[in-house]
């Protein structure tokens, strides 16, 4: 016995669905990347703001170290100046 199957598929619809799927995946990848980048900027802003307020009240060494990592300032005087401008 011999079985034959007719596979008459429309080639345009297969290519269209594949390209549509790739486009949707690319769109969501770019969207999630953009959201994560903006969320990272926003959280660093609030963290710097919080630590600057903390430094103005409590002058502990750990707060200066955290701020120096975030702002890339090495001297305490520069951190003080930065926090005065940043907080107000």
**pLDDT for 57 beyond 80:** no
pLDDT category of residue 38 using cuts at 50, 70 and 90:
very high
Q: Is 72 left (phi over 0), alpha (psi -120 to 50) or beta?
A: left
User: Which of 13-27, 33-47, 64-78 has the highest mean predicted lDDT (pLDDT)?
Assistant: 33-47
pLDDT score recorded for residue 8? 60
Q: How far apart are CA 74 and CA 68, in angstroms?
A: 6
For 52, the token pair is 């600057």
pLDDT score recorded for residue 35? 96
For the whole model, what pTM was predicted? 0.56
């Amino acid at each position: 016995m011999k079985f034959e199957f007719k596979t008459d598929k429309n080639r345009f619809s297969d290519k269209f669905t594949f390209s549509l799927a790739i486009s949707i995946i690319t769109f969501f990848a770019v969207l999630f990347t953009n959201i994560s980048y903006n969320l990272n900027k926003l959280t660093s802003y609030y963290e710097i703001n919080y630590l600057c307020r903390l430094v103005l009240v409590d002058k502990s060494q750990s707060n200066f170290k955290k701020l120096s990592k975030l702002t890339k300032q090495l001297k305490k005087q520069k951190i003080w100046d930065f926090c005065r401008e940043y907080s107000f």
